[in-house]
């Protein structure tokens, strides 16, 4: 497969950007327990790697639901992630059929690599922005021993986007003060906690109606377009809280992938949203969840019931 064929096929599969890069060691500035298993060196993951194929799929955020605050929301990022993951698998398989070794879905630190190659600039919220996509994209990496003609991109150290200096809009709107001039405190970040971490009672109301994802800083970022779109009807239906509390995640898993649609994670978040939105119509499902073998599920259900009954003081 030539570079031209690679780009053509990647775009056919739905990617907006594609680069063939040489392997590079791009260490993260900070290593947290939440990303400790992510690698900084492509060749450590796949010895013999000659090319790092970097693929970006952009997305347009969903418009906030106008149902008197009763509808659950999810970031459109998760659908883009699921689609990009599947598309990268297809591309990797096609390369293997040509006789090359490939690894897709590699757990590698993508942002430092993009910054070192000058493919995007980091903001104070640590998100990389790419011309034409802003910071609203999902990235996939394929490691391969295929000797593509690799682009002579310069290696640069990660620098903060000049548009961010003096702006700090993302830092001002972050509800937990996780963003500063030195980056993001991942221990505070709402999105990081939503990936399965315990959510303290005092932080739960800050999620409002967001089931997965937090785009508050991205919505405020001047590097992003203001365009939004309606949430598709099938996605909205998959987010019905009663359905999620009962563990009916099939439709949601089809949209965002089974890795994100994990039963306990989603039921805990759905219970939290039911409490935040004072959804008395979910009381039956919440009381059933009280009997769950999962301590996280039963604790959140109890909290939500107290919220709905007006007995929660935190």
Tokens of 290: 């009280």
pLDDT at 82: 95
Q: Which residue has the higher pLDDT, 265 or 182?
A: 265
Helix (H, G, I), strand (E, B) or coil at 29: coil
pLDDT, average across residues 174-183: 86
Rounded average pLDDT over 2-7: 88
Query: What sign does the CA torsion over 85, 91, 95, 97 have?
Result: positive
pTM of the model as a whole = 0.88
Q: Which two tokens stand for residue 247?
A: 């563990």
CA angle 152, 93, 140 (to 5 degrees): 50
68 vs 312, higher pLDDT: 312
Range from 20-34, 120-134, 240-254, 260-274 carrying the lowest mean pLDDT: 20-34
Determine the 3-state secondary structure of 58 from DSSP.
Answer: strand
- Report d(CA 86, CA 71) in Å as an integer: 28
Residue range 182-199, pLDDT digits in tens: 778 888 888 887 666 688
* DSSP classification of residue 54: E
Q: What's the distance, Cα to Cα, between the start and end of the chain in Å?
A: 59
Q: How far is CA 147 from the centre of its chain?
A: 31
Contact 118, 153 (CB under 8 A): yes
Measured CA to CA, the distance from residue 269 to residue 262 in angstroms comes to 11
Q: Tell me the average pLDDT of the chain.
A: 87
Q: How many residues does the chain have?
A: 314
The single residue listed with the structure tokens 């990660």 is 158
Among 56-60, 128-132, 297-301, where is mean pLDDT lowest? 128-132
Orientation angle between helical segments 263-276 and 295-308, nearest 10 degrees: 10
- In angstroms, rounded to a whole number, what is the distance separating the alpha carbons of residues 304 and 287? 10
Cβ 265 vs Cβ 74: under 8 Å: no
What span, in angstroms and rounded, lies between the C-alpha atoms of 144 and 148?
A: 9
Q: Would you place residue 34 in the very low, low, confident or very high pLDDT band (cuts 50, 70, 90)?
A: low
* For the chain, percent of residues with pLDDT exceeding 70: 90
Pair 26, 42: CB distance under 8 Å = no
Angle (CA) 216-220-224 rounded to 5° is 110
Is pLDDT larger for residue 85 or for residue 65? 85
112, 120 Cβ separation under 8 angstroms: no
The lowest-confidence range among 135-144, 190-199, 203-212, 230-239 is 190-199
């Amino acid at each position: 497969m030539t570079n031209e064929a690679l780009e053509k096929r990647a775009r056919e599969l739905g990617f907006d950007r594609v680069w063939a890069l040489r392997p590079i060691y791009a260490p993260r500035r900070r290593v947290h327990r939440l990303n400790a298993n992510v690698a900084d060196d492509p060749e450590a993951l796949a010895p013999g790697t000659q090319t790092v194929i970097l693929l970006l799929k952009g997305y347009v955020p969903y418009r906030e639901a106008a149902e008197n605050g009763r509808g659950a929301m999810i970031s459109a990022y998760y659908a883009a992630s699921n689609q990009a993951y599947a598309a990268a698998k297809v591309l990797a398989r096609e390369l293997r059929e040509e006789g090359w070794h490939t690894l897709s879905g590699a757990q590698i630190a993508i942002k430092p690599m993009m910054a070192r190659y000058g493919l995007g600039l980091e903001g104070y919220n640590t998100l990389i922005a790419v011309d034409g996509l802003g910071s609203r994209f999902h990235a996939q990496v394929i490691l391969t021993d295929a000797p593509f003609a690799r682009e002579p991109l310069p290696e640069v150290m990660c620098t903060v986007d000049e548009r961010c200096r003096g702006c700090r809009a993302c830092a001002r709107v972050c509800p937990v003060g996780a963003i500063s001039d030195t980056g993001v405190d991942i221990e505070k970040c709402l999105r990081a906690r939503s990936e399965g971490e315990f959510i303290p009672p005092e932080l739960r109301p800050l999620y409002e109606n967001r089931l997965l994802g937090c785009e508050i800083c991205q919505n405020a970022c001047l590097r992003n377009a203001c365009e939004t779109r309606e949430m598709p009807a099938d996605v909205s239906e998959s987010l019905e809280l009663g359905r999620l509390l009962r563990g009916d995640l099939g439709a949601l898993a089809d949209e965002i992938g089974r890795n994100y649609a994990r039963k306990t994670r989603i039921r805990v978040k759905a219970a939290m949203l039911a409490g935040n939105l004072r959804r008395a119509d979910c009381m039956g499902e919440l009381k059933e969840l009280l009997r769950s073998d999962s301590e996280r599920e039963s604790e959140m259900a109890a909290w939500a019931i107290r919220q709905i009954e007006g007995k929660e003081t935190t």
